[in-house]
Amino acid sequence: MRVFVASLATETNTFSPIPTDRAAFEGAFYAPPGTHPETPTLCSAPLVAARRRARTDGFTLVEGTCAWAEPAGLVARDAYEGLRDEILGQIRAALPVDVVLFGLHGAMVAHGHDDCEGDLLARARAIAGPRAVIGIELDPHCHLTPAMVAAVDLLVTFKEVPHTDFAARADDLVDLALRTARGEIRPAVSVVDCRAIANFMTMRQPGRGLVDRIKAMEGRDGVLSVSVVHGFPAADVPEVGTKVVVVTDGRPEAGRALAARLAHEILDFGADRMPSMPDPEAAVAEARRIDGVGPVVLADRWDNPGGGVAGDSTFLVEELLRNPDLPAAAGALWDPVAVSFCRSAGPGITMPLRFGGKAAATSGRPIDATVTVTAVTDDLVVPFQESRVSLGPAAAVRIGSLDVVLASGRAQTFHPAVFTELGIDLAAKRVVVVKSASHFHAAFAPIARAVIFVNCGGPYPPDAAKIPYTRIRRPIQPLDPHPGLADFP
């Protein structure tokens, strides 16, 4: 058996001012054949999973290119097409192939391509042939499109938000694909379209219970896999929205019925699907009132670089500067210019510094302060589950009782190492501000007195009902009254 695996992934926020070019992939993660490390990045997990199975199962694994760009704005057409054609050429050279696996994000939008993954998969199908098993792993914050579904035999998404299970779901995908290629199962993919933008978190109810029930369904009654596509609201493309995917062993009607039942459950979540989110002033006041050990973590949910925005907004830093008695830390703010100034000055130097508040009107005002540089590094590397994430050259600066981490690379604050690698003791802080919507949670929760999600108003569009879509397929909730479930495609 011959198995090909590659990965091409980013999440495109079409409202973001930050362009995504070839250098954005090469700077974030670019591994041509044979160079992928043993640890997976988020979306390249199928390659690592396939390697492990190749050792035990004895098939021939052909590794293609894996590339990831930190989420940002529209992808340059030549960047997408160049990477696409690189991977398609690798499939052509690997023929004949029995299995083709892709680690995708599923929300890549390029100039001239609304549906990059649909385009890539249709072309891969044409090359690999109708009998090859094509399987994909997606981030649940994707746009599942008819072209994608038409081209594949298998699809699984991460189940957890935050995505703590990307490696486990890659194992699921590889296992199902091998069983399909051996003729042990005949997967049928059934999709129901919720006709809603209905994202939720799985670290809290009611999403937690739904995921636990879904997991218990797999492997029983012919159900091979169940995935919820939450959708990625920050993109003005037709297929934005929430969908439920059930893969059965040759039972598409039963799969569709189960998907419809789960879709109704998700629609019934109502306002509980997301936590309440105070503004910066109310959030800091609330943090002062909470007793206990360890810092209160304030998550700047709408300035999360993982959602394609800059991660340089200053609203929470301004609020902390209005509370100078409060021992606090904030990070990581994206500001390569300020980092370069700090690295030139070096640790121990006190100097005037302007930082943050640059990328967009929604970033707020830059901070002008006299800071002491407390630490610098050539490369701030932090863990996220099995992955290692680089924030590039970085610096820590102190203003009174506030420590701020500035980074040259855009990445969300996945882990306390963002602070501790630069010598900041979080146990001594009352408040820690992180730039992350949810992926911080697994690593910060064990040290946090409490977690508060903060609404700073943007730049990620905080209210789906108010996003200025022009191209989304209507009707869809919450822009319109709910039109009922729809078959898909």
Between residues 139 and 165, which has the closer beta carbon with respect to Zn ion? 139
DSSP for 272-296? GGS-----HHHHHHHHHH--SSSPE
For residue 450, the one-letter residue type is A
Nearer to Zn ion, 141 or 358 (CB): 141
300 within 8 A of 364, measured Cβ to Cβ? no
CB of 71 to Zn ion, least distance (A): 9
Q: How many CB atoms lie within 10 A of CB 242?
A: 25
Closest CA to 190 of 147, 140, 138, 250: 250
Sheet of 187-193: strand order equals 223-229, 243-249, 187-193, 486-488
Q: Can you give the binding site for Zn ion, defined by CB under 5 A?
A: 139, 141
| In the complex, minimum distance from the CB of residue 161 to Zn ion, in angstroms, rounded to a whole number | 7
CA triple 356-359-362, angle to 5 deg: 90
- Cβ at position 163, least distance to Zn ion in Å: 6
Q: Smallest distance, Å, CB 172 to Zn ion? A: 17
**CB 157, min distance to Zn ion, A:** 9
Written as six digits, the tokens of 255 are 């799969």
Closest residue to Zn ion using C-beta atoms: 141
Nearer Cβ to Zn ion, position 230 or 430? 230
195 φψ region: left (φ > 0), alpha (ψ -120 to 50), beta (else): left
Q: Of all helices (H) and strands (E), which one includes residue 101?
A: strand 99-104
Contacts of 101 (CB under 8 A, 6+ apart): 3, 4, 5, 6, 46, 47, 50, 134, 135, 136, 137, 173, 174, 177
- Our CB check for Zn ion shows the closer of 139 and 153 to be 139
Residue 141 or residue 169: which is nearer to Zn ion going by CB?
A: 141
DSSP 8: E
Shortest CB 143 distance to Zn ion, Å: 12
How many Cβ atoms from other residues are within 10 Å of residue 336's Cβ?
A: 17
* Cβ atoms within 10 Å, residue 73: 18
Report which of 161, 430, 438 is spatially closest to residue 297, judged by C-alpha positions: 430
Least Å from the CB of residue 108 to Zn ion: 13
Contact 142, 229 (CB under 8 A): yes
Which residue's CB is nearer to Zn ion, number 105 or number 430?
A: 105
CB of 242 to Zn ion, least distance (A): 13
**Residue with Cβ nearer Zn ion (141 or 143):** 141
CB of 383 to Zn ion, least distance (A): 18
Q: Shortest gap between Cβ of 140 and Zn ion (angstroms)?
A: 6
Closest CB to Zn ion among residues 113, 141:
141
Closest of 342, 385, 18 to residue 166, by C-alpha: 385
- Looking at beta carbons only, is 139 or 300 nearer to Zn ion? 139
Question: Between 139 and 403, whose beta carbon lies closer to Zn ion?
Answer: 139
Who's near 25: CB < 8 A, 6+ residues apart? Answer: 10, 67, 68, 69, 79, 83
Strands 431-434 and 296-300: parallel
**In this structure, are residues 128 and 93 in contact, taking their beta carbons and an 8 Å threshold?**
no
**Closest to 335 in 3D by CA, of 408, 227, 235, 247:** 408
Q: Shortest distance, CB of residue 437 to Zn ion, whole angstroms?
A: 9
141 or 251: CB nearest Zn ion: 141
Q: Toward Zn ion, which CB reaches closer, 9 or 371?
A: 9
Least Cβ distance, residue 202 to Zn ion (angstroms): 11
What does the alpha-carbon distance between residue 164 and residue 42 come to, in Å, rounded to a whole number? 9
